Amino acid sequence: MNDHLGQLQQALSDAATREYGGHAHSGGQRREAMLPGDDDDSKARRTWVQSSSRWPPFASAALALAICATAGAAIVVLVDRGSAPLTGTVPSLRALHYDVPLTPDLEAGDAGWCSDPRFSISSVRSPYSGGGACAPSYRPGTPIVLAGGEPISNAAELLKSSHTPVSARQGHTNLFWAIVTSRVAAVRLSPGHVVSARRDDRLPSGWKAVVAFVSGQIDPVALDRAGSVIAMPSNGGTPTIVRALTRSVKPGRPAASSPCSIHAPRLPTVTASWGVLATSVPALGAGVSANVLFSCARSWYSIKGYTEAASAAILLDAQHPHRVAPALPGLTPTGNPGIFAEDGGADGPLLARRVGRAWLVVQGPSTSIDLPLLDALHAEGTAIDSAGQR
């Protein structure tokens, strides 16, 4: 075991010992996050990516139990051998609902995926506590798209407020989730515990989900239809980390030199706060899969009467930015012509509409606010086809 892996495992172990306690730190850090390995049974902990961090360091305790464990660790199986769906109820706590969304990484200059699982009871969602993950897109052929863990203890306040009794065993249950490619038939969480992958309408074609509720430590390994460990592709299974440069802009400043920007007309309840623009648009080609989106610009807006800010982003085809961008996963019509919705997880719902060959998306505290904001915004710049602009 190398020093880096040993240090990270120790940090995760310390976080678990604190039972998800500690003092939060804010900031847009970057943190290592482990994904299931798949090249050798004796080396199940080797696929690491840089994961975008919007959460305090103790949030990684979720991954300490869900991912960072030895192959011989004991585990208590709380669900059957088939994967649970991406949204449903916790098997041991039927009053508690969960949802695992998959969304593009909206941070300007990034091309990857995010998932921020949330718990809820009777449509009341738990406060966001930091169990989500973001990661750059893996190269084609790599079996794992994104994975992570979320402890039930993150919903402790929600369970308490709803007067739902929770036993010690239930309180130590963890949600393990993974988005995998068509090559993966199942994920072995520990010896004797294999969870089959399932298709989901919210995922792009060819991708599947593995969702399980466990307690104890696990060591995930991707398996093919024959039950064999999937070998790492020749490219090493490394993520394509985009090195696109970005710059910050203030509201009202022209951005003529940028390939794309977002212009917000004056609205009585909306104030533009700041934005980040990519200074160039890379063509990643075979470095990423066909459904990956590149965030070319992102802007933030304060909304009168809301403590949460709304944001908007322009998304392009990461493989070939001159082509029409692929659809976001899980989009559903809203009833408003040309407007689609997606559950964005912790950061709120996500609304999207086509703008030329790009997507213009808004993510904010309420659909009633996001819809007029999306309708009012203009996407501009040389990376966006002029067709369809207003």
The 3-class SS string of 233-254 reads CCCCCCECCCCCCEEEECCCCC
Give the model confidence (pLDDT) of 54-63 as tens digits: 333 223 322 3
Same-domain status, 163 and 14: yes
* 3-state helix vs strand vs coil in the chain, percent to 5: 15, 35, 50
**Average pLDDT rounded to a whole number, residues 66-82:** 38
Q: pTM higher than 0.85, yes or no?
A: no
Residue 324 in this model has a pLDDT that exceeds 90? yes
From 218, 186, 173, 213, select the one nearest 34 (Cα to Cα). Answer: 218
pLDDT tens string 262-295: 988 777 888 888 899 999 999 999 888 889 999 9
Name, in order, each residue with C-beta under 8 angstroms of 132's C-beta and a sequence gap of 6 or more. 54, 55, 114, 115, 116, 117, 148, 150, 345, 346
Note whether 204 and 162 are within 8 A (CB).
Answer: no
Q: Is residue 105 part of a domain?
A: yes
Supply the range of the domain harboring residue 85. Answer: 3-223
Q: What is the pLDDT of residues 136-166, one digit of tens each?
A: 888 888 898 999 888 888 888 888 888 888 8
Asked whether residue 232 is domain-assigned, the answer is: no
Does residue 241 lie within any of the structural domains? no
| Weakest mean pLDDT among 3-12, 86-95, 369-378 | 3-12
Based on the fold, state whether residues 351 and 289 are members of the same structural domain.
Answer: yes
pLDDT of residue 172: 86
Report residue 51: phi and psi, to 5°. Answer: -110, 130
Please name the amino acid found at residue 301: Y
Predicted pLDDT of residue 265: 76
Average pLDDT over residues 99-125: 88
Same structural domain, 92 and 178: yes
Task: Give the model's pLDDT for residue 111.
Answer: 94
- pLDDT for the residue numbered 267: 79
Do 69 and 198 belong together in one domain?
Answer: yes
- The structure tokens listed for 25 are 């730190």
Tell me whether residue 236 is in a domain.
no
pLDDT exceeds 60 at position 34 = no
How many independent structural domains does the chain possess?
2
For residues 281 and 194, state if they share a domain. Answer: no
Strands 47-52 and 87-90: unpaired
Q: What digits encode the pLDDT tens for the residues 216-256? A: 888 899 999 999 999 777 665 677 777 678 888 876 555 66
Q: Between 198 and 168, whose confidence is greater?
A: 198
Is 235 contained in some domain? Answer: no
Q: What is the pLDDT of residue 254?
A: 55
Q: Do 308 and 374 sit in the same domain of this protein? A: yes
What mean pLDDT is reported for the chain? 75
Residues 79 and 135 in one domain: yes
Q: Domain boundary at 223, 257, 289, which? A: 223
Mean pLDDT of 81-104: 91
Do the domain assignments include residue 94?
A: yes
Instruction: Provide the pLDDT for residue 260.
Output: 92
